[in-house]
């Protein structure tokens, strides 16, 4: 095989690899540039499927799905999936932070206490009274973008990693919201955040 043939094969391989890369990434770039108006057929996913993939990959269940005691210890309570802190779970005052310990969490991992006070993870199900059922897509996107409840309310509190989720494209945030609108609606009124304990910084 002469040098000219090798060069031609190399260019052909480069062309096909580059073309495949462009094809796989074209949908994501187009969705980001248009605000997510289209699905991503090149990835083989609808918007809802993309949202499901993201929700199950970035740890939303870790805090928004309560833990319960199972045969092998704590496990997600899937009957209450993504419904946030259980409204029937009344907690005593949070312990004061001491020494190097700054944060404490309830056994369900749905209530957290620290210098900011006590926060309770939100109900992400589409219940119209207690969850996201009355929210718009824009409410959801602005909540993450501005790190405020519904985009203009109180600041989002730890442990919500909104600063990281703000790196999602608009398409991905809208896909997450679209998926959350398809899960079972659970009526669960999460308590309002509590202020810091006296003397807490």
Q: What is the pLDDT of residues 126-171, one digit of tens each?
A: 999 999 999 999 999 999 999 999 989 999 999 999 999 999 999 9
pLDDT of 57 over the 70 cut: yes
According to the model, what pLDDT value does residue 185 have?
Answer: 98
According to the model, what pLDDT value does residue 100 have?
Answer: 86
According to the model, what pLDDT value does residue 98 have?
Answer: 77
* Long-range interactions of 190-193: CB distance < 8 A, separation 24+: 190/84, 190/85, 190/87, 190/120, 190/121, 190/122, 190/123, 190/130, 191/85, 191/87, 191/120, 192/120, 193/116, 193/117, 193/118, 193/119, 193/120, 193/154, 193/157
The mean of the pLDDT values for the chain is 82
d(CA 2, CA 158): 63
pLDDT of 40 over the 80 cut: no
Its pTM stands at 0.77
Q: Which of 84-98, 153-167, 175-189 has the lowest mean pLDDT?
A: 84-98
d(CA 144, CA 195): 22
Average pLDDT over residues 60-82: 95
Say what percent of the chain tops pLDDT 90: 67
d(CA 83, CA 89): 13
pLDDT of 20 over the 90 cut: no
According to the model, what pLDDT value does residue 38 have?
Answer: 52
According to the model, what pLDDT value does residue 39 have?
Answer: 61
Q: Name, of 6-10, 38-42, 187-191, the range with top average pLDDT.
A: 187-191
């Amino acid at each position: 095989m002469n040098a000219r043939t090798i060069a031609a094969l190399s260019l052909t391989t480069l062309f096909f690899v580059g073309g495949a890369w462009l094809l796989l990434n074209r949908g994501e770039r187009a969705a980001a540039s248009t605000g997510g108006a289209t699905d991503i057929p090149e990835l083989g996913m609808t918007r809802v499927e993309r949202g499901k993939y993201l929700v199950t990959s970035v740890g939303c269940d870790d805090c928004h799905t309560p833990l319960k005691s199972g045969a092998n210890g704590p496990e997600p309570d899937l009957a209450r999936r993504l419904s946030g802190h259980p409204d029937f779970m009344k907690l005593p005052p949070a312990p004061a932070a001491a020494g190097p310990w700054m944060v404490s969490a309830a056994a369900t991992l749905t209530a957290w206490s620290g210098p900011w006070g006590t926060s309770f993870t939100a109900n992400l199900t589409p219940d119209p009274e207690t969850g996201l059922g009355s929210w718009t897509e824009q409410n959801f996107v602005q909540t993450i973008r501005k790190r405020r409840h519904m985009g203009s309310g109180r600041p989002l509190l730890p442990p919500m990693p909104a600063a990281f989720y703000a790196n999602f494209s608009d398409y991905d945030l809208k896909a997450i919201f679209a998926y959350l609108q398809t899960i079972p609606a659970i009526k669960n009124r999460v308590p309002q955040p509590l202020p810091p304990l006296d003397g807490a910084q």
